[in-house]
Amino acid sequence: MKRDTRPDTVRPLFEMGTEVPFLPEADQDIADRKGEAKRVVKRLAAIVEDHRQAAIPLNIELGASDLSSVLGALRDHAQGRPGTPVGDARDEIHGYCLNRLFDELVEEPSNILFTTKTGPDSIRYDAMNAKFWLECLDLMEAIFCSPKES
């Protein structure tokens, strides 16, 4: 049977021009915002440590300035700008390590879910929004990239 004579059996999910637009991003109702941010930073710090350890056999030491570069790229990405390649790479291998760390961290906001009670018996799961992600990145930079006082 030719394509022209077959009836269409699949309807499009949306008709052109009737797609539901994205709602503006609202603040997430997080009861203990500071505690949740610390939990997220702890998770991110574990990922950073894994990458730091993986870079050692490559003779690359990932330090505070490297983490600051990656966090800056993550901020750019969260604000809608391209985040990669991460700047400030000393050479190709160092750049690879920084960009791999970025690639893993940039996925974290969609992996961390918050619950919202929507009814007596229903809960909605939402991924972390950009505003809270930026707060977590700021906290991480303050903890791990700021000069330590003696």
> Which tokens go with 88?
């400030």
pLDDT band at residue 141 under the 50/70/90 scheme: very high
Instruction: Please report the pLDDT score of residue 12 as a whole number.
Output: 57
Peptide bond into 57 cis (omega under 30): no
pLDDT tens track for 54-80: 999 999 999 999 999 999 999 999 998
Predicted model pTM = 0.76
Q: Tell me the C-alpha distance between 136 and 140, whole Å.
A: 6
pLDDT band at residue 16 under the 50/70/90 scheme: low
Q: Tell me the C-alpha distance between 35 and 25, whole Å.
A: 22
Rg for the chain, CA atoms, rounded: 21
Q: Domain map of the chain by residue range?
A: 32-144
Q: What are phi and psi of 64, to 5 degrees?
A: -60, -40
Nearest by Cα to 26 from 136, 130, 133: 130
